[in-house]
Amino acid sequence: MSQNTRPHNDNEAWDLIIKGKQGIFALHLKDLWRYRDLLFMFVKRDFVSFYKQTILGPLWFFIQPLFTTLVFTFVFGNLAGISADGLPHQLFYLCGITAWNYFADCLTKTSTVFKDNTNIFGKVYFPRLIMPLSIVVSNLVRFGVQLLLLIAMMGYFSLYPMPNTSFQLTEGIFLFPFLVVLMALLGLGLGLIITAITTKYKDLTFLVTFGVQLMMYATSVIYPLSYIQPEYKKWIAWNPMTTIIEAFRYAFLGKGEFTTYSLLYTTGVTFVVLFLGILIFNKTERTFVDTI
């Protein structure tokens, strides 16, 4: 039995060289740009496949946050009597839900990226970070649709204001792109850490969704930070998403507690989490096919 081999030429230039062992700091960031077409393909796949066999399709982008807002308004606003900081309850909750949903989707979907794409990862080479990045980008579509719903509701309450409530767009709106980037990177970083751990400890996947729901109650989604007693406020403020949501509300509605220090703290935590997430992900992706 003979085998044809290609003669080796030291002077031959290769377009791509794949090496088996590389350091954890070899992040292949240039490859992310080279494979940008693959990134957009995954974004399109995620968007189409998620609602492909549903009756209402993309209308669920509107229905889910709208129903959640109505439930929160009834339970926390009417029954529990939690303050909305002088804002219409519907606007208060929808604003928090819109920001939180984007972060939560980035986190939960990234946290299972190894498990969900084992077959693809095991067959062909491409920068593995492409997959979690595509999740973050595709979730921007849903976030954009829900943001339109928020703006439409703001228009409605501008025409038909509720008694003893007021809101206004503030100069904080210029922080909006930065806040979106922080939400995306924080969700991406935490998701990368979790997905790396779940390659060995699969039980963690059952706790992620539940944990994210609990984490929402430790964030000022259903209550303003000003409503919290001083002895507990500092613990809620340690949550980096609290600053983001408070700044998000201030930008669109004119009510929210955040400082330059808290924004710098949230930014620092986000980039530390992202850096650790990429390193852990990069280390795990070389061997996860053997363990998952």
Tens digits of residue pLDDT in 54-107: 555 667 778 888 899 999 999 998 888 898 989 999 999 999 999 999 999 999
Residue 207, phi then psi, degrees to nearest 5: -95, -15
- The pLDDT of residue 17 is 58
Spatial distance between the Cα atoms of 191 and 204, rounded to a whole number of angstroms: 12
- The pLDDT of residue 2 is 42
Percent of the chain at pLDDT above 70? 81
User: Locate tokens 């003893």: which residue?
Assistant: 164
Give pLDDT tens digits for 152-161. Answer: 999 999 999 9
- The pLDDT of residue 197 is 84
Percent of the chain at pLDDT above 90? 37
How much is the mean pLDDT over the chain? 82
Exposure of 47 by Cβ count < 10 A (0-12 exposed, 13-18 middle, 19+ buried)? middle
List, in order, residues 6 or more apart from 57 with CB less than 8 Å away.
Answer: 51
Q: Is the pLDDT of residue 199 over 70?
A: yes
Exposure of 255 by Cβ count < 10 A (0-12 exposed, 13-18 middle, 19+ buried)? buried
Band of the pLDDT at 200, cuts 50, 70, 90?
confident
Band of the pLDDT at 3, cuts 50, 70, 90?
very low
Q: Is the pLDDT of residue 37 over 90?
A: no
Give pLDDT tens digits for 231-243. Answer: 888 889 899 999 9
Q: Which helix (H) or strand (E) holds 279?
A: helix 260-284
**In the structure encoding, which two tokens stand for residue 181, read together?**
């980037």
Q: Is the pLDDT of residue 5 over 50?
A: no
How far, in Å, are 2, 8, 107, 284 from residue 5 at the CA level? 10, 9, 46, 33
Q: What is the pTM of this model?
A: 0.84
Exposure of 247 by Cβ count < 10 A (0-12 exposed, 13-18 middle, 19+ buried)? buried
Q: Is the pLDDT of residue 177 over 50?
A: yes
Answer yes or no: are the C-beta atoms of 106 and 99 closer than 8 Å: no
Spatial distance between the Cα atoms of 113 and 198, rounded to a whole number of angstroms: 10
- The pLDDT of residue 280 is 87
Answer yes or no: are the C-beta atoms of 58 and 51 closer than 8 Å: yes
Q: Is the pLDDT of residue 47 over 60?
A: yes
**In the structure encoding, which two tokens stand for residue 124, read together?**
């062909």
Residue 39, phi then psi, degrees to nearest 5: -60, -50
Q: Is the pLDDT of residue 256 over 80?
A: yes
Q: Which helix (H) or strand (E) holds 37?
A: helix 36-50
Q: Is the pLDDT of residue 248 over 80?
A: yes
Structure-model confidence comparison of residues 53 and 272, the more confident one: 272
List, in order, residues 6 or more apart from 84 with CB less than 8 Å away.
Answer: 77, 92, 93, 165, 224
Give pLDDT tens digits for 202-229. Answer: 767 778 888 888 899 889 999 998 888 8
Exposure of 122 by Cβ count < 10 A (0-12 exposed, 13-18 middle, 19+ buried)? exposed
Q: Is the pLDDT of residue 10 over 70?
A: no
Structure-model confidence comparison of residues 285 and 112, the more confident one: 112
- The pLDDT of residue 128 is 76
Spatial distance between the Cα atoms of 216 and 173, rounded to a whole number of angstroms: 23
**In the structure encoding, which two tokens stand for residue 17, read together?**
């060289």
**Residue type for position 4:** N
- The pLDDT of residue 164 is 86
How far, in Å, are 202, 245, 248 from residue 263 at the CA level? 34, 11, 12
**Residue type for position 1:** M
Give pLDDT tens digits for 115-147. Answer: 777 777 666 677 778 888 888 988 898 899 899
